[in-house]
Amino acid sequence: MKKVLVLLADGFEEIEALTVVDVLRRGNVDCKICSIEDEDVRGTHDIIIKSDCNINEINSEEYDAVVLPGGLPGADNLKADCVKELVIKMNDKNKIVAAICAAPGTLEYFNILEGKDCTSYPGCIEDKDKVNYIEDELVVVDKNIITSRGPATALMFALKILEELGEKYLITEIIKTPNFLEGQIFKNSLEQIDKSMLENVNKYKYMTEDYKEYIELWIHEIKIPISASKMVIENNKNAITKSIDEELDKVENYIEQALFYARSNTVEKDYYIRKVVLKEIVNESIKKNKSSLIQEKISIDIHDLDIEVNTDNKWIVFILNQIIQNSIKYRKKENSVIEIYANQGKENVILYIKDNGIGIKQGEITRVFEKGFTGTNGRLSNKKSTGIGLYLCKKLCNKLGTGIELNSVQNEGTEVKLVFPKDSYIELK
């Protein structure tokens, strides 16, 4: 289910805000009324609306779109720092940013309309030379930016948001039956088309779920002979069995990747947020990789890790494993070091994983989190990269509300940062 935030500040235009909420909820979209200040928000016509949440309580990663209603002084009140931060963050990630009436002026104030096709209530865009202002369209779409004219266009504005969310098939559910024969026939035809499409969507949904269940069962079953093989190796230690054990460790890693990939779209059903000490998480990850670290003669320098964060231990350990294994894979031949430490700030805790490996080409850094991207290093004959590890790290971090950043200098090394916001989750006692 898609999730949308409708931001309210005192003085908002009621019909613009509530039409969007009404249409999106009818369209099976999880639409939240979000206040930037108090729970009760007064509209420009003195209608008081009780909000569902506060802007300081939400995690923008969970939402697919943000909507700014117009009205005065509502649109001006939305020019707050908290709104600016949220809107820019969602725009940078190409999520839908929608504004109507006077609110496109708020987007202009945030400097995200320059060079964009847009419209607004007359006079609400101050510098039309910096935008491609369109006066003869009621709703204008430019990639992820949706703008509209005013109260009379609220319904068309809401329907366009619904359409851009990819929920086009739900529009028939909110269209009233016309009172003329041709309209009734047309609506009935649309409903039949929707029914057929939904049947096909559900068919593939069940197929996907069935395949996921099979993957999880297969992973469970394959772990049994691997564990048995490791027991045999433990009782018959020699140079050959040691080599086999190392290869089995690699197989286990790929199996673990497959399991976490299968579950990556439903992380919320499997995570358990609690207070954990970073030192414990790091030690567990190092223990998992000790054989490879010893074999490759890689030194480990850990310090300043006696810091608590709110996260899921299992998922973060997996993420750390992928990062550490990359450091091992792309190490230098001599004097390889992996340094892991943390820094506690006012708003977050940052975990650093640094190595002095071969590094990444500057032009490839922005693509390292893309699915299947292996880069120049991954194409080296002895590396055998899949391009899945860092992709999964990014995907899981987004689900957990944890930031992940990567910096690298070729032939000098790579630094990965995991950012744990202090206020992302409810404080646990």
89 contacts 60 by C-beta, under 8 angstroms: yes
Question: How many Cβ atoms sit within 10 Å of the Cβ of residue 20?
Answer: 28
Question: φ, ψ for residue 7 (rounded to 5)?
Answer: -85, 130
**Amino acid identity at 205:** K
Active-site residue 34, yes or no? no
- And the tokens for 1? 């289910």
264 contacts 396 by C-beta, under 8 angstroms: yes
Q: How far apart (Å, rounded) are the C-alpha atoms in residues 351 and 291?
A: 23
Name the nearest CA neighbour of 78 among 165, 142, 169, 6.
6
**Amino acid identity at 365:** I
Question: φ, ψ for residue 98 (rounded to 5)?
Answer: -120, 140
Q: How far apart (Å, rounded) are the C-alpha atoms in residues 66 and 46?
A: 24
Chain CA centroid to CA 5, Å: 15
**Amino acid identity at 429:** K
Q: How far apart (Å, rounded) are the C-alpha atoms in residues 256 and 273?
A: 21
Q: Which of 101, 124, 393, 397 is catalytic?
A: 101
The catalytic residue positions are 101
